[in-house]
Every structure is written in C-alpha cells, then in structure tokens.
Structure 1
Amino acid sequence: MASHRRPKPPSRTRVTVLTATAAAAVALTSQAANAAPTPSKADVKEKVDKLYEDAEKATEKANGAKEAQEKLEKQVTALQDKVARGQDELNEMRDGLGLMASNQYRTGGIDPALQLFLSSDPDSYLEKASTLDQVSAKQAASLQKIQDKQRTLAQQRKEAQGKVKDLADTRKQLTKKKQEAQSKLAAAQKLLNTLTEKERADLAKAEEERASRGSGGSGSTTRTDLGNTPASSSRAAAAFAAAQGKIGTPYVYGASGPSSFDCSGLTSWAYAQAGVSIPRTSESQANAGTRLSQSQLQKGDLVIFYGDLHHVGFYAGNGQVLHAPKPGASVRYESIGNMPFQFGVRIG
C-alpha cells in the first residue's frame, strides 16, 4: 500500500543559507564582469610617463618658488636691517634736537629775544641775536631732517611688510608644488607596482633603448657618438664636461647635485662649475641667453623642451642631448628628437 505522506519541506535555515550563497555568487559574478580590466604594460607606461611629466612640471614650479623664497629672504633681511639702522639714526637726531633746545632755553622761561633786547651792551645784543637766528635755523633744519627720516622709515617698513607677505605666499606655493610633485610620483609608483618584476625590467630596457635610438650607442654611457661639434665657448665646454662627469647619477626631483639632479639642477650646477651663474629653473634658463634654432646648436648650449619650457638639457652634438630625464632614470645621452624641441639657449 502506497504511502500518502507529504514530503518534508526543507528547513527555513537551509533555504536561507542556500539563498545567501546564491546571492553571493551572483554578486561576485557581477563584480567580476564589471571590474575594470587589468591595465596592460603599455597602458601603465603611458600613464606613468604622463605622471612623471606632471611631476617634473610641478618640480620646476617648486624650484622657482624656492629660488624666489631665497631671494625674498635676503630682501626682507636687508630691509629690516635698513629700518633698524634708520631708527637708530632717527633716535640720534631726536636726541641732538633735544640737547639743542635744552641749551637754548637753559636760562629759563623768558623769551631769548627779549633777554637779548634788555641787554645793556648793544654790540652783544647784535652778536647774540645773530647767533640765535643761526640756532633757530639749525633747529628748523634738524626738525626737517627728522620729518624726512620718519617718512623714509614709514616707507621702508611698508616695503618690508609687503616683502614679508610675499615671502609667506611664496612659502605656501613651494609647499603646494612639492606636495603636487610627490603626489604624482607616488601615483606613478603605485601603477608600476601593478606590474611584475619582469614587466618592470622590460619597461626599463625599452626606455633605455628608446633613449639611445639613433645615438650609435647606449643612452646612459659615454660610448654615444657625439660627432665633432665644437663647443660654443670655453665656459660652455667646461659646463658640458662637468655634466658629462655626472652621467649615471640618478634623477631626484628638486635636486641640484652633486649626487643627484633634476633637469635644471644639472644644467645650473654644471655651469656653476664653469664659474657661470644661471637661474635655477628651466623656464628662467630659457631666458638666460641668446635663443637658437636647432641648426645653430653647439656643444654646451642649453636645449629647451615642451611648450611650457619645463625641461632642459645640454646639446651634446650629433643630434644628442645630455640631461637628467625623469624619476627612475639617470643622467644620460638621448636623441633630441625624443622630446618636443622648442629652442636652444647660448649662455654668455
């Protein structure tokens, strides 16, 4: 005889577990479908290069703010010293005027002119009256000098206060640009960390090959064929030789030697070794000498790249530049065609 028992329904707990498991599986499948694809090595390189370029722009702005800060600090110190000296001079002038007044009126409260008029000696009266006129004129001149000094001091104090404000603003700008550069560099490193060690090594090798393309040698060694291009001057030759001595030195943002450099740090340091002072930033260096076309370049001339002038190097000859390229790279030779050339600059 067949059983007419109804099947036992599944427990509420078991249904709940199964439902939750199914929901989780659906969610994971949906997340996997919607997740951004892992960036390719080429994508990472493109984004990292852009971040490095942005970091270099911020670095050059930071370098400019630092240079301005140092200049303002000197100006503020000089103005404050001038105000202090002026205040001392003003105090001495006031003391001198007080002594003059004290001597003039030491006989009491009677008007000096009346005292002279009552004198029994007419010749003495005339002599002393003349002296009194001279004293009064001298006192008036002293008062005028004091007033002029007060006005000058007020102007100098106002100028010093303005420079102090400029200095505070410049320090804020420096901090902002430093943070911006550090942020870009951190983002670039984060992207690089998504690659395997082998992929990073492959990228570095490809970058080195790109840098040396057309140079007849490695982009980071002295084996590059520089041709027979002469230096534009003895000082340019000395600066270029100093930069050559730093091939292989690492790029570090904001660094100006001797153990690390950014692009304008290398050029300004090298020219300093040749006894020539040039501005610190690439933008300022772009206006530090005579501008040249590419066909006019000679060894040791500066070469400016990018529309906003944020990169600079040395012309090395045979279509090559010597520069501090970017984070993760070292001072090296590179084909001038690898970057958007703007113009050259001949110092002196």
Structure 2
Amino acid sequence: MASQRLKRGVRGALAATAVAVAAVGITPVSAGAQPATASDALKKYNELGEQATKLNEELLRAQEQEKNNQAELDKAKGEVDTATKAGDAARADEEKFRSRVDRLTEASFEGARFNQLSALLVSDSQQDFLNRMSALGVLAMDNGEALEELSGAVQAADAARDTASEAEKRAQTATDEAKKIADDVRKRKEDLDKQRTEVKAQLNRLTSAERTNLGSVGSVPTNVNYPAGAAGAALSFAMSQIGDMYQYGATGPNVWDCSGLVMKAYASAGVSIPRTSQGQAGVGRAVTRAEAQAGDIVVYNGGMHVGMAVSNSQVVHASTDGVPVKVVPFNNPGSIYAIRRIG
C-alpha cells in the first residue's frame, strides 16, 4: 500500500500540471489579456475559488434538504393511503350495519315486532305472552346493538376522513416545500456554473509558474503513521487519491470535492458520515488543535471546507478547481472551525 501511495504521488508530481491544464481547459492568452500583475491574478483566483467552494457547500446542503423533504412527502402520501383505506372500510361497515337496521325495521312493519298490548292480545296463554315478550326484547336489543355499531362505524369513518385530510395537508406542505428547495437548487447550480466559469477564466490569466505551482502535488509524505481502526483506513484511502483533480460536487472515483473525499474515505473504512463539510463538523467527538492526530477530520472557514489530518502538522485535502488532492501544512486551508475524531 505504501509503495502504491508513493508511486501515485510521484505520478501526480510529474503530471499534475498537464492534468490541471486539461481539467480546467486552460489556453494560452495574449499579453494584453494579462492582469496588472501575476499576484493580482492569483489573489483573484483564490477569492473566486473560495466563493465557489462556499456556493458548492450551500448547494450540497440544499440537495440534502430536498432529499429529506422528499422522504417526508413519501411518508405523508403513505399516511393518506392508509387513512383512505381505513375510511373505505368504515364506510363499508356503516353500510352493512345500516342494512341490518333497515331489515329489522322492515320486519317490525311486517308484524315481527309487537308492542306489549298486541302481544297480550294475540297470546294464547300466559306462557305464550312471556315468550313473545322475550322475543321482542331480543329484537330490541339486537336493533340497539346494530344502531350502536352503526354509530361507531360512522364515527370511525369520520375520524378516518379527518386523518386523511390532515395527512393530505402535510403532503401538500411537503410538496410545496420540496418544490421551493428544488428551485433553489437549480438556481444555486446556475450560480455555481457561473463561478466555475470565472475561476477557469482566471486560471488563464495566471503565469506559467503559478499554474505549475497550483497543479503540483508538492511533497508527498512517505513516513505517515497510520492509526489503527477506521481512522487509519480512511486516511490511507485519502492519501491514495493524491494527484486526483478537484471537481465541484464530485465524490470520486478520480475527481473530488473536499467533503466528497472525506466522506468516501471513511466509507471505505465502513463508517458512514454526512456528505457536507458542515455535517462532518458534527460527527465523532471534538478534539483540540493540540490533540489533533492522523485521521482526524479538520473543518475550516466556518464549516465551508474540510480535510483530513495526516499528522499534527499536515492535512490532506481537495482544495479547489485546478488543484489536485495534496498534503499541505495544517493551517494552510484556512481558519480552523472544528476538529473531529471518529472512534
């Protein structure tokens, strides 16, 4: 594994410039197209890269929220379906019991039901009268039970319809919210594409030396102390991607954004973590800068960027368009926002 990482690092160091140029479509520009100074171009490039990275993070969060809303919408639709079936069943019971009451009523019209006086008048004996009265009691009780069941069925149907109505309202709210988020995602994608175009255009204005420096993987550590467990496996995966190019929204296998690289690194170790850098800022447990060690997740710039500690002094990260995955000094990516340890 170590020889493979070293081989990949050497390959990246030798070919990164050519890869960077091809990846972002850099073409030579005339002298008149150059900015006042090369440092101005590099500064502008870094600013645009940071803006695009922030926008990419916001886009990922919007997409994540859209996914969550869709799950809520599906749940609400399921509740509507369940409530509708319950309502249908209640209404079927209602019809069944109503028919039962109607039959009893019809029987009473036909003489099956007698009042006490008629029972007395037609009875042949005292025992016959008692038998008739007993039969009338059974009929009355039966009719009363049927009416109670009918009332219960009606109430059940009403409750089911109320439940369905509430579920439909929730489903509609979730649908409307999902649409708003989807529209927001599309708008963010358009903004991100514009930013990426600006970044690529700015790359054209860099000097050859600056482009070479951006496209280089720099010095690749060969004596990394990989910790045991998931952290070590994740770091090994991240280090094996050195030389791969950055791409907004990418999660591999040969191009990455910052959080995509960290997510897939831990996934390779069997650990599921959030897709976004802000989500990754909340996993595991917090450690201090002094405690940072290989495999820790290091989040920068208010949660807008993330890398993985190679040691207490270095991190490996996918930084921005035109730059390969590389190892840099710990504070190089920006202001430290959080350091989290898995396991």
User: What's the TM-score bracket when you normalise by the shorter of the two chains?
Assistant: 0.7 to 0.9
Counterpart of 2:20 in structure 1 is: none
Shift of 1:224: 4.9
Q: Does 1:70 align with 2:67?
A: yes
Shift of 1:244: 2.1
**Matching residue's letter, 2:55:** A
Paired with 1:303 and 1:116, the residues of 2 have a C-alpha distance of 86
5+ residue gaps, structure 1, are 1-34, 213-217
Paired with 2:163 and 2:250, the residues of 1 have a C-alpha distance of 41
Paired with 2:105 and 2:155, the residues of 1 have a C-alpha distance of 26
**Matching residue's letter, 2:264:** W
Counterpart of 1:22 in structure 2 is: none
The alignment of Structure 1 onto Structure 2 pairs a total of residues equal to 296
Paired with 1:127 and 1:98, the residues of 2 have a C-alpha distance of 22
* Distance of aligned partners of 1:111 and 1:59 in 2 relative to their CA distance in 1, 3 Å threshold: farther
Counterpart of 1:311 in structure 2 is: 305
Give the one of 182, 188, 193 matched to 1:177: 188
Give the one of 91, 103, 126 matched to 2:88: 91
**Matching residue's letter, 2:320:** K
**3-state secondary structure, aligned to 1:248:** coil
Conserved? CA contact 1:225–1:318, under 8 Å: no
Q: Does 1:202 align with 2:209?
A: yes
Conserved? CA contact 2:48–2:199, under 8 Å: yes
Counterpart of 1:106 in structure 2 is: 103
Paired with 1:37 and 1:256, the residues of 2 have a C-alpha distance of 34
Conserved? CA contact 1:239–1:300, under 8 Å: yes
Conserved? CA contact 1:57–1:310, under 8 Å: yes
Does 317-326 or 42-51 show the bigger shift? Answer: 317-326
For normalisation by structure 2, the TM-score amounts to 0.79
Counterpart of 1:149 in structure 2 is: 160
**Matching residue's letter, 2:71:** K
**3-state secondary structure, aligned to 1:106:** helix
Q: Does 1:242 align with 2:237?
A: yes
Give the one of 325, 340, 346 matched to 2:341: 346
Provide the alpha-carbon RMSD of the alignment.
2.5
5+ residue gaps, structure 2, are 1-31, 120-131
**3-state secondary structure, aligned to 2:246:** coil
- Kindly report which structure 2 residues correspond to 1:313-332, keeping only aligned pairs within 5 A, or say none: 313-332=307-326
* Distance of aligned partners of 1:318 and 1:288 in 2 relative to their CA distance in 1, 3 Å threshold: closer
Paired with 2:317 and 2:85, the residues of 1 have a C-alpha distance of 52
Shift of 1:59: 0.2
Paired with 1:185 and 1:325, the residues of 2 have a C-alpha distance of 14
Identity percentage of aligned residues? 27
Paired with 1:318 and 1:288, the residues of 2 have a C-alpha distance of 19
* Distance of aligned partners of 1:82 and 1:259 in 2 relative to their CA distance in 1, 3 Å threshold: farther
Give the one of 52, 55, 59 matched to 1:55: 52
Conserved? CA contact 2:52–2:195, under 8 Å: yes
Give the one of 255, 269, 273 matched to 1:278: 273
Deviation track 1:102-140 (CA, whole Å, cap 9, x = no partner) reads 12203566878x963448411111112222222222222
Deviation track 1:12-44 (CA, whole Å, cap 9, x = no partner) reads xxxxxxxxxxxxxxxxxxxxxxx9994211100
**3-state secondary structure, aligned to 1:294:** coil
Counterpart of 1:136 in structure 2 is: 147
Larger RCO (CA under 8 A, 6+ residues apart): 2
* Distance of aligned partners of 1:129 and 1:341 in 2 relative to their CA distance in 1, 3 Å threshold: same
* Distance of aligned partners of 1:92 and 1:60 in 2 relative to their CA distance in 1, 3 Å threshold: same
Paired with 1:75 and 1:313, the residues of 2 have a C-alpha distance of 32
Paired with 1:277 and 1:48, the residues of 2 have a C-alpha distance of 33
Q: Which has the larger radius of gyration?
A: 1
* Distance of aligned partners of 1:287 and 1:111 in 2 relative to their CA distance in 1, 3 Å threshold: farther
Q: Does 1:297 align with 2:292?
A: yes
Conserved? CA contact 2:87–2:161, under 8 Å: yes
Give the one of 50, 65, 82 matched to 2:79: 82
Q: Does 1:255 align with 2:250?
A: yes
Deviation track 1:45-79 (CA, whole Å, cap 9, x = no partner) reads 00011001000000000011111112222221222
Shift of 1:312: 0.5
**3-state secondary structure, aligned to 2:271:** coil
* Distance of aligned partners of 1:38 and 1:246 in 2 relative to their CA distance in 1, 3 Å threshold: closer
Counterpart of 2:327 in structure 1 is: 333
Paired with 2:79 and 2:231, the residues of 1 have a C-alpha distance of 39
For normalisation by structure 1, the TM-score amounts to 0.78
Deviation track 1:199-244 (CA, whole Å, cap 9, x = no partner) reads 2x311333467x85xxxxx1xx4x3554x4x63x612222222222
**Matching residue's letter, 1:47:** K
Q: Does 1:266 align with 2:261?
A: yes
